[in-house]
């Protein structure tokens, strides 16, 4: 098959592209970074350098594809993240329809609203799988500074709140499966590697870095919002982050996840913790 992959060679896209090429598929990788072209071509894929915000570029790149993997990166320069997401979704829909692509895998997140399936709703005549991965293991890299300065993990949720965590490798496996296995209709599929309370996750990471008593503190809503604003988040984006984290803290996100509970992936947090410990001690 001819398959177009968005997300450049990120934590999900790189292992996904490698697996697809190994199985003999023709793969085009979209990246906004010209410096990625050589790396993309080195693993046997075609590089399409441009922006998914450019509808003409996107439409031309999707030409001839049998299937596409679509994701929307956070753009911290955008004040209204919801409007930005809708803009990119609209570009995807137009490019998919123009090129009559029948198979689409769309990555969102486990905090997406139960009724919110944007591409599923707009592409009524296409086969679309919406993948909703849990909280990425790799997000913990952003917490290294906090652990070193304050001795704890912090978020709008914590303590005994239950979280579905996921390895990017397990997400890549799920995308690969959906792209290469015949399917019909429109489906929402959650992806997770392990279900843990925040403090259980903190203990696993803590033991890996030599801090076995590491805790995960749930911050009050106002403190979380003020912290995001002080770190440079635009107001609307900060509000959206706080809302999502408060829904996780309340248990709503995990309840929605349980309605579509997946078979857990093979990469457990203890395995990731080894890589986390290396990064922790290098900083």
Q: Is the pLDDT of residue 117 over 70?
A: no
Burial class (CB in 10 A: 0-12, 13-18, 19+), 26: middle
Q: Is the pLDDT of residue 238 over 60?
A: yes
CATH number for 2-135+166-191: choose from 1.10.3720.10, 3.40.50.720, 3.10.310.30, 1.20.1250.20.
Answer: 3.40.50.720
CB atoms within 10 A of CB 239: 15
Q: Is the pLDDT of residue 114 over 60?
A: no
Report residue 46 as tokens: 């075609």
Confidence of residue 120 (pLDDT cuts 50, 70, 90): low
Mean pLDDT, to the nearest integer, of 47-62? 97
More confident residue, 120 or 273: 273
Domain ranges within the chain, ordered by starting residue: 2-135+166-191
CB atoms within 10 A of CB 17: 26
Structure confidence by residue, pLDDT tens digits, 264-277: 999 999 999 999 99
Mean pLDDT, to the nearest integer, of 245-254? 96
101-105, 127-131, 198-202: which is most confident: 198-202
> 104, 126 in Cβ contact below 8 A?
yes
Q: Is the pLDDT of residue 42 over 90?
A: yes
């Amino acid at each position: 098959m001819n398959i177009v992959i968005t997300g450049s060679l990120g934590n999900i896209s790189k292992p996904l592209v490698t697996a697809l090429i190994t199985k003999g598929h023709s793969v085009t990788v979209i990246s906004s970074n010209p410096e990625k072209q050589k790396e993309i071509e080195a693993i046997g894929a075609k590089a399409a350098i441009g922006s998914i915000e450019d509808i003409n570029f996107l439409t031309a790149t999707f030409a001839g594809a049998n299937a596409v993997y679509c994701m929307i990166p956070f753009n911290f320069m955008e004040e209204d993240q919801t409007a930005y997401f809708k803009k990119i979704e609209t570009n995807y829909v137009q490019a998919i329809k123009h090129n009559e692509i029948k198979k689409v895998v769309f990555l969102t997140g486990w905090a997406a609203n139960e009724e919110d399936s944007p591409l599923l709703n707009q592409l009524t005549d296409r086969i679309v799988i919406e993948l909703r991965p849990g909280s990425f293991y790799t997000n913990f890299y952003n917490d290294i500074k906090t652990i070193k300065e304050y001795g704890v993990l912090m978020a709008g949720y914590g303590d005994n709140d239950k979280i579905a965590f996921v390895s990017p490798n397990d997400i890549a496996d799920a995308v690969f499966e959906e792209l290469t296995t015949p399917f019909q209709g429109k489906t929402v599929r959650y992806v997770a590697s392990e279900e843990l309370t925040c403090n259980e996750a903190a203990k696993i990471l803590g033991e890996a870095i030599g801090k076995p008593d590491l805790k995960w503190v749930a911050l009050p809503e106002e403190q979380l919002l003020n912290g995001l604003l002080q770190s440079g988040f635009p107001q609307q984006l900060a509000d959206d982050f706080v809302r999502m984290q408060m829904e996780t803290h309340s248990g709503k996100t995990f309840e929605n996840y349980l309605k579509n509970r997946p078979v857990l992936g093979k990469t457990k947090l203890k395995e990731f913790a080894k890589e986390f410990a290396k990064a922790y001690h290098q900083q």
